[in-house]
Copies of this chain bind each other. A is one copy, B any other.
Amino acid sequence: MDSVYLRKGYVHMASMKDVAKLAGVSVSTVSRVISNSIPVDEKTREKVERAIEAVNFKPNLLAQGLRSKSGNIIGLIVPEILHESFIYFIKYIERYVSEIGFNLIIGNTSNKPKLESEIIDNMIRRNVDGIIFSRVSDKSKVMRIIEKTDIPVVIIDRALGQEDIPTVVLDNYDAGRLCAEHLVALGHEKFACITGPRDIFLSRDRLRGFVDVLKKNGLGLPESNIFEGDFKFETGKKGMQYFLETGAEFTAIWGQNDLMAIGAMNELVRRGRRIPDDISVVGMDNINAAEMLVPSLTTITQPFEEMARISVDMILKERNGETIPEKRVVLSPGILIRETTSRARIAT
């Protein structure tokens, strides 16, 4: 008799009705005890609380959500769960959201606009209290939500130009600046860079910051020392292959994320170049692998946890009708100096 595998009869999860009956009061009184908003006589409160204990009552969240139009749930939409930096958002947002008594529901768009619509609809149909986008493929979708419903929306990680949507982003210009300053301080004079897609703000901002610092120091980055990647390991390798085959001259390279930087390192090592003795390498994101390599990767860091907290806070503020002082929060990157960067070889 495999009773485990047979659908057991529905086991009544205690409802307010049960509590009310046991405590000898009405359901409204029970509700009041729980919400703690309206004064209740001490004695009845105690009776009710005992009853709640006795039947192990927990309010049904669907009923609450239906009635109050707030599902106590926040939606997070990412284009790709396994992506090295999104998992940090997932982790920290989940943690923070649950700390404040919400649940997190995750949608993975796989970068398909059609899926994106579906996911958004689904979330709306769950009366989500807000939606956090990590990278938006189609701006209009976000605008539609904002215009047609009252659901708070926050965009994290990738800005959309100067729209009027609450946004939490990294100061990507500063990321490039930090990187260049570190390398220049080490005496490097010739550089290369593997960027993200050039049509993305974030990649361009990073590059601008990088180049500006070089210029300020009388140095520069020739276009032939720039390779456009897609933030994946493979294009990091490809970029380095390209540089090495075209004979580009440089003693330091920046991969605009760790994956590409590691790809570049991989190619260097396979061709017998020494890091950092021949070439210094900097990445960005500080993914797990960065410190597992030999040599360990110097990298630009993002305050993922802070970004997560701020974006959730913004959702809650919007939801409570509070005005958000700054609709565009810009956070600063840091730099973690490890073993892939060292002083440039003395020029001869």
Which residues of A approach B to under 8 Å, CB–CB?
2, 4-11, 13, 58-63, 65-66, 69, 71, 73, 81-82, 84, 87-88, 90-91, 94-95, 98, 103-108, 110, 119, 121-122, 124-127, 146, 148-150, 164-166, 233, 262-263, 266, 269-270, 288-289, 292-294, 318-321, 323-324, 327
Contact = CB atoms under 8 A, between A and B. Distances in A.
A26 to B, nearest CB: 21
Contacts of A327: 2, 4-5
B108 A98 contact: yes
A121 to B, nearest CB: 6
Given A166-B5, A289-B289, A61 B105 contact: no
B82 A94 contact: no
A2 B233 CA distance: 42
Nearest to A319: B7
B94 A108 contact: yes
Contacts of A2: 164, 323, 327
A66 B64 CA distance: 10
A126 B61 contact: yes
A206 to B, nearest CB: 22
A266 B297 CA distance: 13
Given A104-B105, A266-B292, 16 more contacts: A2-B327, A5-B318, A10-B150, A13-B149, A58-B121, A58-B124, A61-B126, A62-B126, A62-B127, A81-B87, A94-B106, A95-B108, A95-B110, A103-B122, A262-B292, A288-B289
A78 to B, nearest CB: 10
Contact of A321 (B7, B71, B146): B7
B294 A269 contact: yes
A125 B58 contact: yes
Nearest to A121: B58
B106 A106 contact: yes
B294 A270 contact: yes
Contact of A91 (B4, B82, B127): B82
Contacts of A87: 81-82, 87
A71 B81 contact: no
15 contacts: A5-B166, A6-B321, A8-B150, A11-B148, A13-B125, A66-B66, A81-B90, A81-B91, A82-B91, A87-B87, A90-B90, A104-B105, A233-B288, A263-B292, A266-B293
